[in-house]
Chains A and B, each alone.
Chain A
Amino acid sequence: MSPRKTLATSKRVLSQLRHDRRTLALIFIVPPVLLTILKYVFQGEPGVFDGIAPMLLGIFPMIMMFLITSIVTLRERSSGTLHRLMTMPMSKSDFIFGYAIAFCLLGIVQALLSGGVMLGLLRVTVLGGTIPTMIVAVLAAFLGTALGLFTSAFARSEFQAVQFLPAFIFPQLLVCGLFVARAEMARPLQWFADIMPLTYSVDAMKRVTIDPSWTSTLTRDLTVVIGFAIVALILGSATIRRQE
Chain B
Amino acid sequence: METAVKIKHLSVTLGGHFKALTDINLELPVGKTIGFIGPSGAGKTTLIRGIVGSLGISSGEIRVFDIPAGSAVLRQEVSYMTQELSVYPDLTVTENIKYFITMAGQPSKKSGEIVKNVLELVDMSDKAGSLVSDLSGGQKQRVSLAVALIGAPKLMVLDEPTVGLDPVLREKLWGLFARLADQGTTLIISSHSMDEAGRCDDLVLIRDGRLIAHSSPDALLRSTGTKTVEESFLKLVGDRE
Contact = CB atoms under 8 A, between A and B. Distances in A.
B94 to A, nearest CB: 11
Given A8-B99, A242-B54, A244-B54, A89 B76 contact: yes
Nearest to A88: B103
B225 to A, nearest CB: 40
Contacts of A81: 86-88
Contacts of A19: 90-91, 131
A87 B102 contact: no
A243 B75 CA distance: 13
A149 B99 CA distance: 21
A84 B80 contact: yes
A242 B70 CA distance: 8
Nearest to B102: A8
A8 B102 CA distance: 7
Interface in A126-165: none
B10 interface: no
B54 A12 contact: no
Nearest to A12: B99
Given A16-B90, A19-B131, A81-B86, A87 B52 contact: yes
B56 interface: yes
Chain A at the B interface: SS class: helix
A180 B2 CA distance: 73
A16 B91 contact: yes
A5 B101 CA distance: 10
A55 to B, nearest CB: 34
A80 B54 contact: no
Interface residues of B, number: 33
Nearest to B75: A89
B65 interface: no
Contacts of A88: 75, 100, 103-105
A89 B105 contact: yes
Nearest to A11: B99
Given A89-B72, A89-B76, A83 B55 contact: no
A87 B103 contact: no
A242 B75 CA distance: 11
Contacts of A216: none
A89 B102 CA distance: 10
B95 interface: yes
Contact of A84 (B72, B76, B86): B86
A85 interface: yes
Q: Which of B56, B79, B103 has the most CB of A within 10 A?
A: B103
Given A8-B102, A80-B82, A86 B87 contact: no
B78 interface: yes
Contact of B53 (A11, A20, A242): A242
B54 A86 contact: yes
Contacts of B108: 4
B80 A87 contact: yes
B84 A79 contact: yes
A90 B105 CA distance: 8
Interface in A12-26: 12, 15-16, 19-20
Contacts of B76: 89
A244 B70 CA distance: 12
Contacts of A5: 102-103
Interface in A71-98: 79-81, 83-90
Interface of B: 49, 52-56, 70, 72, 75-76, 78-88, 90-91, 95, 99-100, 102-105, 108, 131, 147
Given A242-B70, A243-B56, 5 more contacts: A4-B102, A5-B103, A12-B95, A83-B54, A87-B75
8 contacts: A4-B102, A79-B84, A84-B80, A87-B78, A88-B75, A89-B103, A242-B70, A243-B53
**List of 4 A-B pairs having minimum Cβ-Cβ separation, nearest first:** A80-B84, A80-B86, A8-B102, A89-B75
